[in-house]
Structure 1
Amino acid sequence: MALGRGKRRAARVEAVEGDPGWAVELRGVRRQYGRGGSAVHALRGIDLKLPRGSFTAVMGPSGSGKSTFLQCAAGLDRPTDGSVRLGGTEITGMSENKLTELRRARLGFVFQAFNLLPSLTVEQNVLLPMRLAGRRPDRRRAEELLGQVGLAGKGKRRPGELSGGQQQRVAIARALVTRPDVVFADEPTGALDTRTAGEVLALLRSAVDGMGATVVMVTHDPAAAAYADQVLFLADGSLADALRGASAAQIGARMTSLTAPVYAGVAA
């Protein structure tokens, strides 16, 4: 049975701010590309703490540093300065091998393009993070998750036999299979129609509410961001604002009010 939308916990972020168990913690994170007068400052000193069991959306104009933020927070890129902690573990000075092990065992990822392996079955795709982490594949866990995302009985199919929305549901199950500290989602609804996007976002929301997952999602869509507990706004590599429990209209209005000059050379 698919997970329901569940009761929205808009006050979740405020309610646990005294809890030392942060899922994501960035301290003075800067990311600079190049040197001297041609240097590009993608992130200009990001300080934030995100609690376990929360849903955070990250928005900003093109060139604001959203992707750089996600890459640094997930250990996919190293900050020039500052530190990053995931699930209480300092990752900034980790070797590449240790970072790879951590990402496989303790992080989940959902991408716009799904990134499923077409030669594997749905079940095998879901279990892939367990195999990569050197853990024994838990078929019961995969079956349970596929049922929760509305794909019961489809474990033996190939991704090419599924719709785009169904493939993204598989990707969500895959992201959750190892019970990760954090699920990072990069424009997870960008390739989906409005109705299907709503279904996928409801699954991410219910993973937080019903399974205690922590989700950090980059999106350009105010309607998608409205599913989150809080929305962080980036501008020119800095945190410009944050809204909690906001509607799509409120989020859209805040985005409109942000100035959006062209930041030459800064990745979106």
Structure 2
Amino acid sequence: MRLRKGKRQNADHGPEVDNRPGAPAATPTLAVELRDVRRQYGRGAGTVHALAGVDLALPRGTFTAVMGPSGSGKSTFLQCAAGLDRPTAGSVFLGGTEITGMSENELTELRRSRLGFVFQAFNLLPSLTVEQNVLLPMRLAGQRQDRRQAQEVLARVGLADKAKRRPGELSGGQQQRVAVARALVTGPDVIFADEPTGALDTGTAAEVLGLLRNAVDALGATVVMVTHDPAAAAWADRVLFLADGAFADHLERGSAERIAARMAVLTSHASRAGAMAGAAA
């Protein structure tokens, strides 16, 4: 990755260190760090506070699920944390690098080389083979396309024999496993998963979540997953609950039942708050 002006890279090729005067100090042991991140849309009376001062510190090698009622800010959180959207205020660090002031080109380069993404809709290119889809992040980042590495990650997700197939020849679960392999191939600082099991049946969803869990446990990957499904969130080390643009609660290694109960409370509070706001208007 090209170094930004005013930064140096550690001799051991560790995270970038920002030496600019007045720049906030990174915490190298953290994979994801948000400091008082706010995201507003609109102005005046119509302003929407999608994120209202989010603070978060996620160590490397952890699996975190983020849940919340509709309109709580889940999508905005993921977009700001992954550098897909710019916060109105606050600082975001990924892998020890402060990304908030990066240019669009720098953010694009970072996403290609140091982040992995798994989306609900798979986002595979139908004209490419499975192997070519897995290698796409390397190709876009200008790196050498390592076919042996592609074979290794495809074997890890149980698709070593599907390398020459096209996505249209695979089931939905197999396509999502290709997406997981694509996310893993560059050894990213963080894998962001946005409703990765939303289009899958229960059994196939468990297979995909098992792959993400194994990436954390066996490879030391860091996974941040937004989901509405308590059963999916139960695979995580920690579940964070968003409400009104801020984290309102959390559970450590919660069961699906406990997570669902906590979500029911938050949703009930959100509904009552909405009703009161409507009555006041």
- Could you say whether these structures have the same fold, taking a TM-score greater than 0.5 normalized by the shorter chain as the test? yes
- Rounded to whole Å, the distance in 2 between the matches of 1:152 and 1:87 is 30
1:260 aligns to what SS in structure 2? helix
1:176-209 Cα distance to aligned partner (Å, 9 max, x none): 1000000000000000000000000000000100
1:252 paired with 2:253, answer no
Which residue is equivalent to 2:224? 216
The Cα of 1:35 is off from its aligned counterpart by: 1.1
1:93-112 Cα distance to aligned partner (Å, 9 max, x none): 00000000000000000000
- Rounded to whole Å, the distance in 2 between the matches of 1:232 and 1:28 is 16
2:160 aligns to what SS in structure 1? coil
Which residue is equivalent to 1:72? 80
Q: Which of 95, 109, 132 is matched with 2:117 structurally?
A: 109
Which residue is equivalent to 2:188? 180
- Rounded to whole Å, the distance in 1 between the matches of 2:68 and 2:144 is 40
Which residue is equivalent to 2:246? 238
- Rounded to whole Å, the distance in 2 between the matches of 1:115 and 1:165 is 13
Which residue is equivalent to 2:162? 154
Which residue is equivalent to 1:137? 145
The Cα of 1:63 is off from its aligned counterpart by: 0.2
1:106-135 Cα distance to aligned partner (Å, 9 max, x none): 000000000000000000000000000000
2:71 aligns to what SS in structure 1? coil
Over the matched positions of the two proteins, sequence identity in percent amounts to 80
What TM-score do you get using the length of structure 2 for normalisation? 0.86
Which residue is equivalent to 2:104? 96
- Rounded to whole Å, the distance in 1 between the matches of 2:73 and 2:108 is 23
Q: Which amino acid is the alignment partner of residue 240 of structure 1?
A: A
Q: Which amino acid is the alignment partner of residue 260 of structure 1?
A: A
- Rounded to whole Å, the distance in 2 between the matches of 1:118 and 1:152 is 18
For the 8 Å contact 2:28–2:95, the answer to whether it is kept is no
2:138 aligns to what SS in structure 1? helix
1:33 paired with 2:35, answer no
- Rounded to whole Å, the distance in 2 between the matches of 1:260 and 1:226 is 22
Which residue is equivalent to 1:59? 67
Q: Which of 221, 231, 236 is matched with 1:228 structurally?
A: 236
What TM-score do you get using the length of structure 1 for normalisation? 0.90
- Rounded to whole Å, the distance in 1 between the matches of 2:53 and 2:67 is 17
Which residue is equivalent to 1:207? 215
- Rounded to whole Å, the distance in 1 between the matches of 2:50 and 2:140 is 31
1:122 paired with 2:130, answer yes
Identify unmatched segments of 5+ residues in structure 1: 1-18
1:81 paired with 2:102, answer no
The Cα of 1:155 is off from its aligned counterpart by: 0.3
How many pairs are equivalent?
246
- Rounded to whole Å, the distance in 1 between the matches of 2:200 and 2:257 is 21
The Cα of 1:20 is off from its aligned counterpart by: 4.6
1:153 aligns to what SS in structure 2? helix
1:47-81 Cα distance to aligned partner (Å, 9 max, x none): 01001000000000000000000000000000000
Of structures 1 and 2, the larger Rg is shown by 2
Which residue is equivalent to 1:23? 31
- Rounded to whole Å, the distance in 2 between the matches of 1:205 and 1:48 is 21
- Rounded to whole Å, the distance in 2 between the matches of 1:156 and 1:92 is 39
- Rounded to whole Å, the distance in 2 between the matches of 1:88 and 1:20 is 5
The Cα of 1:260 is off from its aligned counterpart by: 2.5
Identify unmatched segments of 5+ residues in structure 2: 1-26
Q: Cα RMSD between the aligned structures?
A: 1.2
